[in-house]
Amino acid sequence: MSRSRLAAASTLLCVATCIVPATASADFTVTLPAGTFLLDSAYMHSTVNIQYGDDRSAGPLLKGIERYEPGGGWQGTITAKPAVVYRFSLTQLMYGITDDLTAAVAVPLVLDSTIRTNLSWRRGQYMSSLGRSYSEDDFWAWAQSMGQPKPPDEWKGNQNTVADIVLALRYRLPQLDWMKENNIHWSMLLQGAVPTGTEGEPELLVTAGTTSWDLHSYADVETHVAMEKFWYDENGVTWLTVGFDAYYGWMRTRTYKTATGKNNPLLMTHQPYVGDTYEIDGGDWLAAQVGVDWAPIVGPTIATYITRGSMEKAQKLPRLLTFQFRYLYLKTGQTDWKSNSPLWEWDGREELWQPGDKQTFVFTGNISLLRVGAPLFLYARYRTQEILPGRNTRAANVWFFGGRLVAKFW
């Protein structure tokens, strides 16, 4: 039985990784005026169903699980093409401590998660006891006779569950003389994830967690350095911005309970050879991002209470419509599982999470209502990792629909 248990290393425990977008603002160097609050609330719909291999080819999130007769031949292979959906509510609150220093907190709330397993069966060798090879029904009837239930077609969970909360500080650095002459700003950002997320249930074959490792879109600690060049119209309002951001992300080592096979004795009896617990070192990240913001439409301009009736000040408010484009290249390090079984660590785990990269494109449309008297921004955003293939990573597609409210009380 040991061979069949080791061959079952690929489970659906981590299929939801890479699903959530980074929580940081779409801007690179912008900070809030001192004493100003900004509340950002968004709904996010995230999906993932492919994994890129070492050759950048797209495949299912999991490799097949080969099954063998105890001491005998190959029964067949359980194959799966999981499709994962996460629905989020993301709330961010930012505050201008000074004109050059902004603090932020981001709270990702998982409304629910769904995993459709899409299981199938590839027949194995001829079995003389049956007079044929195992069919899918034959296999699951055999498995159930040994206490192993067939995995569900669909799993739902994480209803109203908080993921790891993010805290951040952005400092806009003093401009050098050449920067002032060329309308260039630069900044540093430090952000960290508070471990408020939950892990997937270790005894379930189909499950997903809400930690930063499970979601794999922001590291536990990130340090950013960014630079932007601004172009202004005759009223001093930005109409074009080109920016660059580089950052390093650190993933902390996590300790997990090992599955004992209580619910899935044939597929998840890992504890005897793995140990009571195992660790995952997620590997560090290096990333670089470029972006362009273009505001082609000024829109109607009204002297309102926001500018205390001044048309001159109203004309200096942000333009009505802005389009944003971002390209992010993120290099991931080797993920290291640590247990009593090197074979278990590699097969279906470290093998899939070798050093790789993600190539992410983000498209945003933003409407500012400040010029017509409402301190509100509305936006829609699409984030995809399927335009250019990554390597040894999973590709997430995410839709955002949100709004930003600006307020100052003193």
pLDDT, one tens digit per residue, over 130-153 is 889 999 999 999 899 989 999 889
Which pLDDT score is estimated for 8?
32
**Cα–Cα distance, 17 to 1 (Å, whole number):** 30
* Distances from the Cα of 395 to the Cα of 138, 385, 399, angstroms: 34, 5, 14
- C-beta separation of 151 from 13 below 8 A: no
> Domain span at residue 254?
2-408
Mean pLDDT of 186-203: 95
pLDDT at 22 over 90: no
The domain spanning residue 48 has which CATH number? 2.40.160.40
Q: Supply the pTM of this predicted model.
A: 0.90
pLDDT at 217 over 70: yes
DSSP annotation of 305 reads G
| 3-class SS shares of the chain: helix, strand, coil, % to 5 | 10, 50, 40
Which pLDDT score is estimated for 205?
87
**Cα–Cα distance, 280 to 253 (Å, whole number):** 6
- C-beta separation of 158 from 198 below 8 A: yes
> Would you place residue 25 in the very low, low, confident or very high pLDDT band (cuts 50, 70, 90)?
very low
Over the stretch 86-100, which tens digit does the pLDDT of each residue have? 999 999 999 999 999
Report the candidate in 22, 10, 80, 28 with the shortest Cα–Cα distance to residue 46. Answer: 22
Q: How many CA atoms lie within 13 A of 236 on its CB side?
A: 6
**Cα–Cα distance, 200 to 158 (Å, whole number):** 9
**Cα–Cα distance, 119 to 64 (Å, whole number):** 10
CB-based contacts of 377: which residues, under 8 Å, 6+ apart? Answer: 366, 367, 368, 369, 370, 403, 404, 405, 406
Helix (H) or strand (E) holding 314: helix 311-314
- C-beta separation of 386 from 394 below 8 A: no
Could you give phi then psi for residue 88, rounded to 5 degrees?
A: -125, 150
Number of folded domains that form the chain? 1
Beta bridge partners of 225: 188, 246
Over the stretch 221-270, which tens digit does the pLDDT of each residue have? 999 999 999 999 999 999 999 999 999 999 999 999 999 999 999 889 99
